[in-house]
Structure formats: structure tokens, C-alpha cells
Chain A
């Protein structure tokens, strides 16, 4: 009560012109605006009693509710309309769509397996690369290896990668990354050719460059969230570990990382969600082959890349339906992954409180 009135005076001086100008126009209101008990409860019950103001207020509340509802409705509208458009293909192919390999536009036979496989494998490569590198960045920018005036700009620069439009990263991938990875692919093929993953001669574009490009793109997500999580680990844990004689890295590996595990898992899940849906950069470097190939050095396709390539040229209803079906699968997949990640992060933050 005391604090409220104290700040009221302070704020009144700041906002005198804004608020008082209004009250001067309607002098009768200022006396009856607040019911006497309302501030005692410390609830933000901002009740107004003037009839016009009351009307304006309830109208405004309704408007705000309506807009919030519209925003929420977008998600359901999206889900509903994509499902409706996919319905012809769902009826035609059923669940078998998921494990059919055929994608023949001329004969209108469609199956999602090569694309689903490409999406999952490229995202897996990306995660395998981005998790250790992201953790390293998070540790370097959260531990005191470096003075703090170096640390936070460093974290900011890594986060900037997330701001680069993905089509530009894809273009860079074509010109720089693919030529760079080609000799590595050739070496893998020469020395480990008996493993199915490296069984074909690399041609340039393919699953491996796509995975590497995806790793670059999800790295900022992984690094930024892991950093937040690590910074939130209580300092006592670190001090305790140090007092018991652990070195810095023993503290990190045995104390910090286990303490932050659920948050780090959330970070990785969120990064996976980004990788699954990433489109343009992948479409530029993956080679867009509709065939299923186990070799990482062969060209492939992902669900987003096939959508990007075929949608503008799709004419037949069933072809559009099959693409919509693919979009629906991607939508559901990313929805599940993102909900899991959000729940993980939420569980962590409520646990901390």
C-alpha cells in the first residue's frame, strides 16, 4: 500500500500530462475511479466506474480477447485446411504413403519414404555435428575462459548466424561448401566404401552437404539455449565441486552438464525442430533426387525441398494432394518435436522457480 502510493506520486509526475489532461476533462471521474479497497488487495484490479469509460474498457477487453483468439485460430486453421487439401491423397494412398518409395508424377503414384528418410537422416547428421559444437560455444561463452567483454560479443556473433536468410546460406553452400566437402567425400568413399553410408562416388550435392548446412543453421539455436541453461545452473554447485578438488573440466563434465541435462535436451529438441523444417538452404545443396539411397554421398531429397521444388509446377489434383499430404506429415512431425521441446524447457523453468 505504501509503495503503491509512493510510486504513484513518482509516476504521476512523469505521466502528468498524459493522464491528468484526461482527468481534467472529466473532473467527476477521478474521485470515484478507484473503489477504496482495491489497492489493499494488491491485485491489479483496474476498475473504472465512469459509464463511457466502462463501455470503452469492456469493448477494448473484448477486442483484445478477439485478436488473441484470431492468433490462436491461425494454427488450427492451418492444420484444418492442409488436412482438407491432403484428404484426396490420404484417401488414395492411406498410411502406406509413408513407406512407399514410388514418386511418379506421370502415372500419379506417390510415396513419401525417400523424402521422409532424407528429412530424418539430414537432420540427424545436423544434430550430431551441432550438439558438440553448440555445447563448446555455450561453454566458452558461459565459463570464464575469456574476459566478459569478449564473451558476450562472441555469443552475439554466433547468434547472428540465425539471422542470415537461409537462401543466402544455401548459395554459399553451393559455391564454397560443396567444393570443400567433395575431397572429404571422395576420401570417405575410397577408405570406407564397404559401409553402405559411403558406398557411392560423391557427385557434389548430396545428403552430407545438406547435413552440414543444416548443422550450421541450427548451431545458433543450440548454442544460445544451452548457454542460457548453463548460466542458470546455481553457482554453489560449481563452487562445491571446485572445493572438492575437481578441475574445471571435471566440474563441467560431472557437475554442470548433468545439472543442466534436461535444458540441454530441450535445446537439442528445439534445434531438431528447426532442422526438420529448414527448406531453402537444403533444397540448394541436396541434389533433389527422388530415389532412396543409403549413401550419404549420394544426392537425395527432404520433405521441405520437394515441396519447394514441385509446388509451383503441380497441376494435377492428386499431385497437389500428395504434396499437401507431405506438408501435413512435416507439420505434425515438427509440431510434436516443438511441443516436446517447449514442455521440456517449461518443466525446467517451473522447476527452477
Chain B
């Protein structure tokens, strides 16, 4: 039909071919176009909050972003001309996230090594299942757990309790992402190591681990970014403090709890500070996310 340009009226069979070229009924066509338009509208709607949020944070947070916000303490309300900032909150977040990573990174990596290198059969399936379920435990429940374990036994709110909670939040994320990275290492590398006389220990730490390192690092960075943004596990464990961190057994300030407190404050200056802190926190978290994912994408 396509190859012969003969005028269609010459043929009796044309009755049936015109069926083939007949345009779709209006109802089907409009359903098709209508749904496309609807899908794009809804996608636009989905992106709206993200852009609105970034614009708002830049608009409200940038004017106050001076060097002193990183180095000074929150100024007492109502004082003019005093350097105002949240250096203690930044330091507190760094301390608590760092301490949490110190515990959960080795624990998580070794669990992942168990899952991908040693685990066989039902036991490892159960371990993986429980880790997956652990990812879904709400972070506020983890906070309650840390409260019950540490705040209850030491009878005080402390940075230690905060970092304990953050470690529990990070742990399953690290396990799952590290296992994913280890699985990507081709089995032939393990065979090769064994063929050269490498023991299991040597195979894992001299060959497999180094091959998977970029992927593992990405997972660690994502887990750290997640922990840095968490508020719920800190709000009744580490509490908040207006001063520089004094010790692990004292309440400790953090960026996220500071944003929570100042966001509800009736004072405009504190709201402004919350925006600036949001800008710093969001920049940190988004930069980690974008960079680490770009790095893995290039590799893959």
C-alpha cells in the first residue's frame, strides 16, 4: 500500500484500506492527548515544591550568610551589634555525626561483608531482611530507643545519646549500600585471588574491598548526609545548647534542632538565622548527594 502511489479510487479493496488510515475516534485521541498533558502537569506540580524551597532558602538565607555565622555563638535576643551565628551548632553536628560514623561505619561494612562474601542460605536472607526492615524504622522511634538506653541510664540529655541515635539511623543504610557495592565486584576477581593463594581475609581486604571502594564511599557519604539532616533522633536526646560543646555527657547543639527551634520562634531575627542555617545544611546535604551520585554514575 505504501509502495504503490496509485490513486485509491481505482480499487474496490480500498474500502478496507481506508479503515487502516482512518484517524482515531475523537474519544480515544483526546484520551491519549489529555493523559499526556495531565501527566506533564502533575510532574510539574511535583517539581514545584523543590524549586520553591530552594528559591525561598536562597532569598531568606543568603543576606545573613557572613563569615561570623560559622564562628560565633547565637547572640542573646535583643542585643544589637554582637556577632550572631551558630558555630556551636555546626560543631555539634560534626561531633555527633563523626562519632556516630566511627561506630556505624565499621559495624556496617563488616555486616555487609558478611552478607555479600560469607552469608549463604537462609541465615543471610534473614539478616538482609532484618536490615531492610531496620531502614524503615522511623527515626523518631530510634530517638526513643536512644532515650531509653542512654538518657535513662545516665539521667541526663547528652551528645552521646544523640550520636548513639544517629549511629542506629546510619547503620542499615551503610549495610545495604556497601553490600550493593561489594556485589558489583566480579566473581572472577575473587576466584583469581583464591587461585593466587589468597585466603578469605586477604581476598576480601586486598581485592574485593579495594575494587568496591568508590561505591562504598558513595554509600557512606549518603548515610552521613542523611544523619546530618536528622532532627527527630536528636530533639530529646542531645537536646540543644546555646554554648560551645563542653563534653559528650552534656546537651549539645546541632544545626537541625536549631532550625526546628528557631523556625517556631516569634522573633524575626531567629527566623532569619534559621533560614541561614537551613541554607548551610541544605547546601551540605545536596552537594554530598549530587557529587557522590555523579561520581558513581560516571563509574557505572
Residues in chain A within 8 A of chain B (CB atoms):
3-5, 7-8, 10-12, 15, 18-20, 22-23, 29-30, 33-34, 38-39, 44-46, 48, 50, 53-54, 56-57, 60-61, 63-65, 67-68, 70-72, 74-75, 77-78, 81-82, 84-85, 132-134, 136-137, 139-140, 145, 154, 156-158, 160-161, 163-172, 174-177, 216, 219, 223, 247-250, 252-253, 270, 273-274, 276-280, 284, 304, 307-308, 311-312, 323-324, 327, 330-331, 334-335, 337-339, 341-342
Contacts and interface: CB of A to CB of B under 8 A. Distances in A.
A247 B259 contact: no
B153 to A, nearest CB: 11
Given A70-B107, A163-B286, A169-B53, A11 B231 contact: no
Contacts of A22: 198, 202, 206
Looking at A12, A160, A250, which has the most chain B CB atoms within 10 Å of its CB? A160
Nearest to B193: A19
A311 B238 CA distance: 12
B175 A247 contact: no
Contacts of B256: 165, 167, 280
Contacts of A74: 134, 168, 171
A167 B263 contact: yes
Contacts of A324: 144, 148
Contacts of A248: 32, 36
B215 to A, nearest CB: 17
A57 to B, nearest CB: 5
B241 interface: no
8 nearest CB pairs, A to B? A277-B138, A165-B229, A33-B197, A338-B136, A11-B192, A136-B42, A48-B199, A311-B236
B188 A3 contact: yes
A164 B36 CA distance: 29
A63 B110 contact: yes
B40 interface: yes
Nearest to A11: B192
Given A56-B199, A74-B171, A176-B52, A81 B46 contact: no
A219 B44 CA distance: 13
A72 B236 CA distance: 25
Contacts of B16: none
Nearest to A44: B190
Contacts of A167: 229, 231, 256, 259-260, 263
Interface string B99-133: 00000001110110111011100000011011111
Contacts of B35: 249, 252-253
A274 to B, nearest CB: 8
A57 B235 CA distance: 43
A324 B19 CA distance: 70
Contacts of B29: 247
Looking at B39, B42, B52, B204, which has the most chain A CB atoms within 10 Å of its CB? B39
Contacts of B114: 64-65, 67-68
B152 A311 contact: no
Given A53-B199, A60-B200, A307-B144, A163 B138 contact: no
Contacts of A176: 52-53, 56
A335 B137 contact: yes
A54 B300 CA distance: 36
Interface string B4-26: 00000000000000000000100
Interface residues of B, number: 107
B89 interface: no
Contacts of B43: 133, 136-137, 140, 154
B145 interface: yes
Interface in B183-232: 186-204, 206-207, 210, 225-226, 228-232
B133 A44 contact: no
Given A171-B278, A311-B147, A46 B200 contact: yes
A8 B188 CA distance: 7
Given A57-B200, A77-B145, 14 more contacts: A4-B188, A8-B195, A19-B207, A53-B199, A68-B115, A78-B137, A78-B168, A136-B42, A157-B47, A174-B263, A177-B49, A308-B232, A308-B236, A331-B138
B160 interface: no
A119 to B, nearest CB: 11
Contacts of A249: 31-32, 35-36
A344 to B, nearest CB: 12
Given A140-B39, A172-B53, A277-B141, A71 B127 contact: yes
Nearest to B278: A168
22 contacts: A8-B191, A8-B195, A48-B199, A48-B200, A53-B199, A72-B127, A81-B148, A82-B144, A137-B43, A161-B49, A161-B50, A167-B259, A167-B263, A168-B281, A247-B24, A249-B31, A249-B32, A279-B139, A279-B231, A308-B235, A327-B140, A334-B138
A223 B46 contact: yes
A279 B201 contact: no
Given A68-B127, A342-B129, A160 B286 contact: yes
